[in-house]
Amino acid sequence: MEKLIPVLITLFFLTATDFVRAQYVRTEKFRNERERRQQYALDDWISYLPAKQIVRIAVGRNYIYFATLDGGILRYELFQNYWDYPFTTSNGLISNRVLDVAYDFSNSFLWAVTDLDTCVFKPAEQEWVCLSRSGVYWPYKFPEKKMPNTSGQIEHNVFYSEQFLDKLPHFFANGEWTMVENWKVMDENFDEYPITGFLRDDWERVWMIIEGLGVGIGNFYSQRIDVVPYGLTTIEPRIITYIENDLWIGGEPY
């Protein structure tokens, strides 16, 4: 029980919405991101925010990335199929309001265009560097992004906005979800959530942004879609425990 008390207190500060702004204390104590990283590992502090306003998708080597306006960058592991912890201000991102995200395969850099700055995540150093903090020297170049093909078939690893939804085949939803007209997903309470963008990956999966709900994963061959829950913001935590080096949190779905 003695171990659980400090963990519960930490969890409360990381997940309670009223305390999100308290994250700034960590950045104020250090002159720059590199100085902060000398004392904290990238995953020492993790925040799970609502992240229901997804605006862009990008594919990397091992992850697919989702830029959100309210929760930093979500990361889904492509080969083992799980949500890894997100990139937020708690682990070095300058803002949780991310307008665009891009991945550069030539150097494995992840780019985040936020409302405050443009930043690059360098995997070797495990740190974010931002344009406004770099001074005169800025050697990084934003990767060229392929634009959607408006006439041909849907290309792989290219983000398409909602205006291109009619290029997709018709999908059916699994579980308690239903695909209705005008590219909306309906839940068991008859609430509807519009699909606002999508990306087709190399494994013929279609990653869909479902506004106000989260992420859907469709399959081009079966033409079925699953709505994917992602993290603490989709449950009401009821129990917490350590198993070896992992922290496990269980609860009821919203």
**Per-residue confidence (pLDDT) for residue 253, from 0 to 100:** 64
List Cα–Cα distances, 92 to 24, 36, 119, in angstroms.
10, 8, 10
Quickly list H helices, the chain.
Answer: 4-15, 24-28, 33-37
Spatial distance between the Cα atoms of 69 and 89, rounded to a whole number of angstroms: 13
Q: In residues, how long is the chain?
A: 254
Quote the tokens at residue 251.
Answer: 């609860």
- The burial class, CB within 10 Å (0-12 / 13-18 / 19+), for 246 is exposed
What long-range pairs does 207-215 form, CB within 8 A, spacing at least 24? 207/57, 207/64, 209/54, 209/55, 209/57, 209/66, 210/185, 211/52, 211/53, 211/54, 212/52, 212/53, 213/52, 213/185, 214/51, 214/52, 214/54, 215/54, 215/66, 215/74, 215/76
pLDDT tens by residue, the chain, 254 residues: 444 444 443 444 444 444 333 333 344 456 666 666 666 677 777 888 888 899 999 999 999 999 999 999 999 999 999 899 999 998 889 999 999 999 999 999 999 999 999 999 999 988 899 998 777 788 999 999 888 887 778 999 999 999 999 999 999 999 999 999 999 999 999 999 999 999 999 999 999 999 988 899 999 999 999 998 776 666 667 788 878 777 777 777 65
Stated pTM of the model: 0.80
CB 210 within 8 A of CB 227: yes
